[in-house]
Structure 1
Amino acid sequence: MTEALKTELVNFSELTGEAGSARRAELARHVATLFALTSDRCSDEQVDIYDSVLLRLVDMVEAEVRRYVAEQMSSLRRGPEETIRRLADDDIEVAEPILVRSTVLRDTDLIKIAEKRGNTHCFAIAQREVLSEEVTDVLVRKGDLKVKRKVAGNEGASLSDASLMVLISDAAADATLQLSLSERGDLAEAHIASLVAVASEEVRKKLQAAGREEEAVRLDEAADVAAQHMSNQYWLGRYDFETARSRVILLAKRGMVNEAALRRFASEDRFAEAVATFSWLVRAGVEEMSHWMVRPNPEPFVILAKASGFSSITISSLLSIGPWRHRLTPEVRSESMALFERMTIAEAKRKMSHWTSTVLN
């Protein structure tokens, strides 16, 4: 094979010294062009021969010639793997076409280069047509804002939940990143809520305008939920819901969790226990109910309570404890109780059914 390599492609003995500089450049271009034209018809053995020759040649020529070789190799479905890896790890003016286009590179190659090299190499990788989560995790972790913008705007880039949350967090200070994220079609409900929470008014309008009417409604709800949860944390952080939940579970095992127990907790202003008890009785999560029972608009809670058959005395007590003692005005409490008294259980259940497909989700 060594003899074939010398006679069929290159005689390296003729390329030594200063006089061989032009010849080396010419041969590198020639061999790269020849392989690009014939790669689909080459046997595996022939590809290996080309790989050996090109690998030696690219180490003997200037960056301009290496760039030419990289351009020739970048779009090939089959290629000299070692040469392509060598070019991908070159300076960015050489590596760029390989990093952007070559499908010969594997994820392990891309990750290694992204870890080893700087932002220019990461930016080139971020432009690839398809990127796995493993690769984008590294790009998001290692890359600067320019790299993150490119990753976020790449529809072919798969993003893990962790990477998405990093990008959304960074987007709070960068409108361009917000716009890139807003145009992605793979954002889950939680991601949309987080993005809307940090998005500028300009981006929020774009998010809503780009979607269908149903999606726009979903975004409005996500924005509401995100804003409420942000402000709710201040109030809810004062209470130990985990301990309260454990106490209620013990009471439930004794058959002591009922509306009377709920009223007792309310009369004692034991908000965490009241939330845990209410959650148990309506078969809902404590965390979700804690947010319902702190929000400035208690209407959803009132409707759920009516649909679940609670008495007006119990609901009136709950509207005056915990954070609601500070967050609700007398007018809001009065209006809420009027709604509770006016509404029938059937009407409340119909509203709950509607919410199941909108607000609750």
Structure 2
Amino acid sequence: MHYSLIQELQDAISNESTGRRIVALRKITDLFLEHGNRLTPEQVNIFDNLLLGFIRDVEAEDLAELAQQLATVPFAPSAVIRRLAIHCDRAVATPVLTVSERLSNEDLLEVATTRGQGHLLAIAGRFALDTVLTDAIIELGDREVRRRVAGNPGASFTRGGLVRLVAASKGDPLLAEKVGLRGDLPNKLLRELLDNATSAVHIRLVNKAPTQLRAEIQKHVDDISRQIKRDAERPRDLRSAVDLVKRLVERRELTENRLADFATDRQYEAIIATLAAMTSSPIALIEPLMRVHRHDGLITACRAADLSWETTQAVILSRLMSSSDVDVGQLRRKYEEMSFSSAKRALLIWREQVFRPRKAG
């Protein structure tokens, strides 16, 4: 029976009717799935060649159906699987790229280096990935691809790959969280990641990490907190920051987005110089606001600079270890209750009080 059906399907290959070819493709696929686990390698090759002949001119929708059927089959015809894996349509390639055991590392590397981000995303989610593949994925992948491979517990990385992931995680909190939770991340790279991560990432990592890793993360976070406190309290040489801000003003590049970047990077001197320029205030008036424990003065300065709440929050958190150190909701209410005009008046009053000439005694 099997050979008579195979003969029938071979005859259908040359048939011009697309409908009949699709029906024939489904028949041979069903036959293979039913009996394939009992076939010899030579018999599997027969099916492989037959299916290759059918899929040459079949629409992507029907190939996607075939890929779904064969992706999890451990004895699937390897040539067909490779053909589906390199298909330019993601719907066809993704099922086999994600789970098929019939793809070698060489097959996957070929796809990774010749196809687009959708194919890389599928490979990044495989159950197991060796270091050659992860290096290629990190090098070629976009943000979504890097996030997936970083969160893949079955992926192995070279130190160079982990270094690139840590560098890419700066400014990408979700990637930072996924990389920070990896048990294979060397201690030095973990500290570097935490140094560049936001306080919100610190909190999520401490909450999500397994016990042993949590203790290590908490230790680094505590060290960072102490360092931030020392940085906030030490005397500062603001000349370079003032010169930078002057140049940005001259080029009309001193924007709220630039200040937000300074805050994210915890560039205290640049934050102080920028707030002073944006509020037309002396450095000596703004600098103490970054040092004191209360946040009201800093909120006032940010309001007087006409900053959004998001940027104001970033400025406040730039001098803290964690957002848990403050009641963000209460601070936002204070920000929203304060008008731009009242904040400007408050700064003028403070300026008069601080710089009022003392009467001779």
TM-score bin (small chain): 0.5 to 0.7
Match of 1:195 among 193, 199, 220: 193
Match of 1:39 among 30, 36, 40: 36
Superposition deviation, residue 14 in structure 1: 3.9
Give SS of 1:87's match. helix
Aligned equivalents of 1:66 and 1:35: distance in 2?
A: 16
Residue 9 and residue 206 in structure 1: after superposition, are their counterparts in 2 closer, same or farther (change >3 A)?
A: farther
Gaps of 5+ in 2: 232-361
Aligned equivalents of 2:143 and 2:162: distance in 1?
A: 14
Aligned equivalents of 1:212 and 1:12: distance in 2?
A: 57
Residue 65 in structure 1 maps to residue 50 in structure 2: no
Query: TM-score, normalized by length of structure 1?
Result: 0.58
Give the 5 Å matches for 1:97-136. Answer: 97-136=95-134
Per the alignment, residue 140 of structure 2 pairs with 142
- Checking the alignment, whether the CA contact within 8 Å between 1:5 and 1:53 is kept in structure 2 is no
- Checking the alignment, whether the CA contact within 8 Å between 1:33 and 1:72 is kept in structure 2 is no
Aligned equivalents of 1:16 and 1:227: distance in 2?
A: 76
Aligned equivalents of 1:168 and 1:227: distance in 2?
A: 22
Per the alignment, residue 182 of structure 1 pairs with 180
- Checking the alignment, whether the CA contact within 8 Å between 2:63 and 2:84 is kept in structure 1 is yes
Superposition deviation, residue 15 in structure 1: 4.1
Give the 5 Å matches for 1:3-82. Answer: 8-16=6-14, 18=16, 20-82=17-79
Query: TM-score, normalized by length of structure 2?
Result: 0.58
Q: Which amino acid aligns with 1:142?
A: L
Aligned equivalents of 1:7 and 1:210: distance in 2?
A: 56
Aligned equivalents of 1:168 and 1:9: distance in 2?
A: 57
Superposition deviation, residue 215 in structure 1: 4.3
Give SS of 1:149's match. helix
Per the alignment, residue 337 of structure 2 pairs with none
Superposition deviation, residue 178 in structure 1: 1.1
- Checking the alignment, whether the CA contact within 8 Å between 2:150 and 2:175 is kept in structure 1 is yes
Superposition deviation, residue 126 in structure 1: 0.8
Superposition deviation, residue 12 in structure 1: 3.5
Deviations 1:216-248 (A, max 9, x none): 4432443538997xx99xxxxxxxxxxxxxxxx
Give SS of 2:125's match. coil
Per the alignment, residue 86 of structure 1 pairs with 83
Aligned equivalents of 2:134 and 2:4: distance in 1?
A: 42
- Checking the alignment, whether the CA contact within 8 Å between 1:111 and 1:135 is kept in structure 2 is yes
Give the 5 Å matches for 1:258-297. Answer: none
Deviations 1:78-110 (A, max 9, x none): 121111100100121111101011011011100
Aligned equivalents of 1:5 and 1:163: distance in 2?
A: 51
Deviations 1:296-324 (A, max 9, x none): xxxxxxxxxxxxxxxxxxxxxxxxxxxxx
Identity %: 31
Give the number of the structure whose alpha-carbon radius of gyration is greater: 1
Gaps of 5+ in 1: 233-361
RMSD: 2.6
Residue 33 and residue 116 in structure 1: after superposition, are their counterparts in 2 closer, same or farther (change >3 A)?
A: same
Give SS of 1:173's match. coil
Superposition deviation, residue 169 in structure 1: 0.6
Q: Which amino acid aligns with 2:61?
A: E
- Checking the alignment, whether the CA contact within 8 Å between 1:24 and 1:60 is kept in structure 2 is no
Give SS of 2:129's match. coil
Superposition deviation, residue 17 in structure 1: 5.2
Superposition deviation, residue 182 in structure 1: 2.4
Q: Which amino acid aligns with 1:73?
A: L
Residue 11 and residue 29 in structure 1: after superposition, are their counterparts in 2 closer, same or farther (change >3 A)?
A: closer
Per the alignment, residue 95 of structure 1 pairs with 93
Aligned equivalents of 1:213 and 1:200: distance in 2?
A: 21
Q: Which amino acid aligns with 1:153?
A: G
